[in-house]
Amino acid sequence: MEGWRVGGMEREPYSVVSFRRRRNACGAKRRANNHKQCSEHTFMYYKDGQLARFPEIGEGNQELADAFFNYYGKVFEDGALTAREKSLIALAVAHTVQCPYCIDAYTSDCLEKGSDLEQMTEAIHVAVAIRGGSSLVHGVQMLDQTRRLSM
């Protein structure tokens, strides 16, 4: 697993913040139920600490896990793109695929590699533009269908 690295996880992950907002939104239910946690918020899908445990995935098939982590490490080495540029790309992609683990890891990684907030935000906007454009271009399909059905 050489080359596999997880960004710092010292601060509270995004998923915990989201969970707390959802939990607080049902305060009336909790008060009505003697301040017990609302049953719909007893399980959190994204859990603090799981990202650091990612290498444990090899328990099911160590050979495949090792192959993945070796590949992963190679991908993020300096090449035609610097490791810093690759981290910015990874951060943008993480937002596109909406992976809280990746967002936390690559936010930390970008900062460690010298990116600043402005660069990271710009990378995210590139991802948003591509994602939005790919959704919007499907509107042509709707236009075609509307024209077919309106004739």
Span 42-94, pLDDT tens digits: 455 677 788 888 889 999 999 999 999 999 999 999 999 999 999 999 999 99
* Domain residue limits at 22: 14-150
Region 10-20 average pLDDT: 40
95 lies in some domain: yes
Predicted pLDDT of residue 73: 94
- pLDDT band at residue 12 using 50, 70 and 90 as cut-offs: very low
Give the C-alpha separation, 137 to 60, whole Å.
41
Region 114-118 average pLDDT: 98
2 lies in some domain: no
Give the C-alpha separation, 123 to 133, whole Å.
15
| pLDDT greater than 50 at residue 25 | no
Residue spans of alpha helices (H) in 26-116? 27-32, 62-75, 83-97, 100-112
The pairs formed by 38-47 with CB atoms below 8 angstroms and a separation of 24 or more are 44/15, 44/16, 44/19, 45/15, 46/13, 46/15, 46/100, 46/101, 47/15
Q: 127-147: per-residue pLDDT in tens?
A: 999 999 988 998 999 999 999
CATH code of 133's domain: 1.20.1290.10
Give the C-alpha separation, 133 to 129, whole Å.
6
What is the pTM (predicted TM-score) of this model?
0.66
How much is the mean pLDDT over the chain?
Answer: 79
Predicted pLDDT of residue 5: 45
86 lies in some domain: yes
4 lies in some domain: no
The total number of structural domains that make up the chain:
1
| pLDDT greater than 60 at residue 32 | no
